[in-house]
Structure 1
Amino acid sequence: MANGFLHTQIWGLDNMMSLEDVIGLMHSMDYSEKIHYLEGKDDLSINDISLNHCWEKPSEIKCFSTANKKENEVVRYFSNVGIIEVPIPENDAYIDPERTKLLPRDRRIKVHKVNTIFFEYFQKVYAIVFGSKNDVKIKSVLMGQGYRERKKKEWGKVEFPLPQYQLSSEFFYWMYYKYLKQQNLTTPHGVIKINDVEGIGRYSDRKQHDTRGTGPKSTSELSNMTALGINQLVYKSDFNLTYENSIRVNFCLNTDSSLTIDKKRSLITKSNEVPEGISGNEEFILLKFYLDILPGLSRAYSIDQDNGSWSESHSRKARKEYALEVIRDLCSIHNIKPEEISGLQPV
């Protein structure tokens, strides 16, 4: 959560697991392991040669009511913190060149804390894992997915990415179109308005290209509009949206539903009607995102596909509109006349 950004991924646990099972595994299992370059050092204590990975005491199980009144969904969840210890390299772990005396433990072992939220949804447990890519070591170290001593079959399989949270390039193009048409999305999970598209990540010739506009209404920026007008696969995008006039969130969303929220530019309005930042409200905003906002967007997209409001032909037409918008802006900027365009040789 450093630098004002909140990074998360969502994982799925084994279908046979319950929240109580997860809490039991956190309490009952030994997750510690030996530091490989200190094994066999009989003159050292167990604590000196071990990495004491563990889970903190979990919060009590609480209930979160989704906005899907049609299904009347109440989701159970709890939060916890995983502790992962990482040793410094062997060459740096000793005081003397002869390697006869170790540095104090607190100077040769780094401690990483990883926040998590576990929730139960339609009889399946999901984990929202906070942190950067380095912090996803929690899967192998504290969730039984590693090798040798780290492998703990009691956890079953931890799945990522999840099919039910997998997004397509077309989904992003649909969101861009809804933004440009300024159409509010009325979903079973609430009303969503896409205020801006601030960045687009796309694949081209096996390379990644990121474009990002700045300032208000940045979709009108040529870099973003040009990206939209090119028929390429989108793998992530930056949005600003409003949910039910109570949450305004700036975020980057990937096709695997991993998420980065800009905490400084996101606001939440509670019952006192005073907008406040999301610091201290991370649990609520993440549950709201993965249980209401994203399912609401996905449901609206599916409805438009089913009723013919969005199809491959609509997507092609939208790309053409984006390309024409770029041409219009370039003509205005450079004072290009229509006849100059018509006189160009075809590619």
Structure 2
Amino acid sequence: MARGRAKTKIKEVRLSVWEIDSSIALEGVIDNLRLDYNLPISYLADRADLQERDKTLENGWHPANGETDFSINSLNIANTDIRYVHASGYYEKAESEQKAVINVNGTNNTVVPRHLRVFNRSCPTVFFEIESKVYALVEVSNSEESRVRSVLFGQGRGDNKKEEWKKINYKEILQFSWDSQFFYWLLSKIGSSFSHESDPEYTISLLDVSAVAQLTTEQEYDSTSKGANVLGSLPALSGLGTNQSVYEAGFAFQFPNMTLTLRMSDNSTCFINSSASNIIGENGESLNIEQDYVRVVLTIYGILLLTLKRKYNSDVANRLWTVSQEQFQRKNWALYVIRELCEENDISLDDVKGILPESNN
């Protein structure tokens, strides 16, 4: 029996961007990173027979890349100096009391060794400053976001609450939020290049569209297309041609010394395809994302996304992208689908005319 080809699993780096309270600068961020984030394991708090570490979840922040202390650094990209702090968040999760305290030889209060009941997680984070505001780029899964905000950003209750962080905004961050109209505009720009306002010679080229995720107008059906040259995919173009709402799209961008393939969501989240991205080092060597992590994430959020948003807003303001132009683009996508289906199914022009209302013949 023939076996289907196994799909290659794509390795992605998921980045969430959160807006730090406007009263907190990078210097204040460093102060907050030095706070005590440890938490007691509630069901072991009264166990006098245990070492303190055995009944504590050890959470906190550490300087990244083996540094001994937190520091504010600066990176120049596209003639733009971006100040940042690179840190790694660490937090622990404990098993339930039923699994951590067990019956051994008739004794009901034996605590399982710590390494079998406490598990650690990490979240690399880059705090950066743009236009006098500080944002956090957090590498974290969707399921762990809430816990990270609660444990490491002081947004929880009780022992988790850290007033020093004040309010963290993780929804509808204006600088990095997109709507369906923006995605339609960007999808129409394949093959185009964009220059950064601080350095006209710094060019960003849109090479390809690698994914489109859409919802019908009534949000009844959700469709996703992935792969190279998605704009040659009939399912993707059918959705675009019928004005479905785009909430996520993937693109391949060429930068000076860097090629990145990533998905952008309307909620500001980005997914970097590690396998399909390449970075060229200062000496011409090929690097992966982890080896030039800060430059990659700041290129995306500090340069790329802001450049695209400025260009989109400029095109709309100058009527270079209007409702009628979007409609014209959708019409071209729809006509492409019709032509491909006609060729595939040997449908003649007379066949098409036969199903159209008489007023359109």
Give the TM-score normalised by the residue count of structure 2: 0.87
For residues 104 and 277 of structure 1, the distance between their equivalents in structure 2, rounded to whole angstroms, comes to 38
Is 1:39 equivalent to 2:45 in the alignment?
yes
Is 1:141 equivalent to 2:151 in the alignment?
yes
Return the letter of the residue paired with 2:89.
G
Using the TM superposition, give the Cα deviation of residue 112 of structure 1 relative to its aligned residue in structure 2, in angstroms: 0.5
Change (3 A) 1:50 1:207: farther
Correspondent of 1:15 among 16, 19, 22? 22
For residues 48 and 60 of structure 2, the distance between their equivalents in structure 1, rounded to whole angstroms, comes to 24
Is 1:222 equivalent to 2:238 in the alignment?
no
Correspondent of 1:124 among 126, 133, 146? 133
Q: Alignment identity in percent?
A: 28
Moved more, 35-44 or 256-265: 35-44
Is 1:90 equivalent to 2:103 in the alignment?
no
The alignment partner of 1:100 has SS state of strand
2:252 corresponds to which residue?
240
1:173 corresponds to which residue?
184
2:166 corresponds to which residue?
156
1:206 corresponds to which residue?
219
Q: Is the 8 A contact 2:212 2:226 kept in 1?
A: no
Map 1:268-279 to 2 at 5 A: 268-279=279-290
For residues 63 and 250 of structure 1, the distance between their equivalents in structure 2, rounded to whole angstroms, comes to 25
Using the TM superposition, give the Cα deviation of residue 150 of structure 1 relative to its aligned residue in structure 2, in angstroms: 0.9
Using the TM superposition, give the Cα deviation of residue 44 of structure 1 relative to its aligned residue in structure 2, in angstroms: 2.7
Is 1:81 equivalent to 2:91 in the alignment?
no
The alignment partner of 1:231 has SS state of coil
For residues 332 and 70 of structure 2, the distance between their equivalents in structure 1, rounded to whole angstroms, comes to 50
Correspondent of 1:107 among 97, 103, 116? 116
Deviations 1:44-92 (A, max 9, x none): 333222212111135432111231x4xxx32211211111010012222
The alignment partner of 2:204 has SS state of strand
For residues 301 and 155 of structure 1, the distance between their equivalents in structure 2, rounded to whole angstroms, comes to 33
For residues 161 and 221 of structure 2, the distance between their equivalents in structure 1, rounded to whole angstroms, comes to 34
Deviations 1:259-284 (A, max 9, x none): 10011110122443454432311111
Is 1:297 equivalent to 2:303 in the alignment?
no
Change (3 A) 1:318 1:12: same
Change (3 A) 1:228 1:287: same
Moved more, 185-194 or 289-298: 185-194
The alignment partner of 2:267 has SS state of coil
Aligned length: 337
Q: Is the 8 A contact 1:61 1:77 kept in 2?
A: yes
Return the letter of the residue paired with 2:178.
L
Using the TM superposition, give the Cα deviation of residue 110 of structure 1 relative to its aligned residue in structure 2, in angstroms: 0.3
Using the TM superposition, give the Cα deviation of residue 30 of structure 1 relative to its aligned residue in structure 2, in angstroms: 2.0
Using the TM superposition, give the Cα deviation of residue 249 of structure 1 relative to its aligned residue in structure 2, in angstroms: 0.9
Specify every segment of 5 or more residues in structure 2 that has no aligned partner in the other structure, as ranges.
1-8, 64-68
The alignment partner of 1:343 has SS state of helix
Q: Is the 8 A contact 2:10 2:275 kept in 1?
A: no
Return the letter of the residue paired with 2:73.
K
Change (3 A) 1:99 1:268: same
Using the TM superposition, give the Cα deviation of residue 247 of structure 1 relative to its aligned residue in structure 2, in angstroms: 1.8
For residues 208 and 51 of structure 1, the distance between their equivalents in structure 2, rounded to whole angstroms, comes to 43
C-alpha RMSD of the superposition:
2.1
For residues 21 and 194 of structure 1, the distance between their equivalents in structure 2, rounded to whole angstroms, comes to 37
For residues 287 and 114 of structure 2, the distance between their equivalents in structure 1, rounded to whole angstroms, comes to 41
Using the TM superposition, give the Cα deviation of residue 251 of structure 1 relative to its aligned residue in structure 2, in angstroms: 0.7
Change (3 A) 1:335 1:213: farther
Specify every segment of 5 or more residues in structure 1 that has no aligned partner in the other structure, as ranges.
none
Using the TM superposition, give the Cα deviation of residue 253 of structure 1 relative to its aligned residue in structure 2, in angstroms: 0.5
Is 1:56 equivalent to 2:66 in the alignment?
no
Give the TM-score normalised by the residue count of structure 1: 0.91
Q: Is the 8 A contact 1:200 1:227 kept in 2?
A: no
Deviations 1:291-314 (A, max 9, x none): 111111111111211211101111
Correspondent of 1:183 among 192, 203, 226? 192
For residues 20 and 227 of structure 1, the distance between their equivalents in structure 2, rounded to whole angstroms, comes to 47
Q: Is the 8 A contact 1:93 1:102 kept in 2?
A: yes
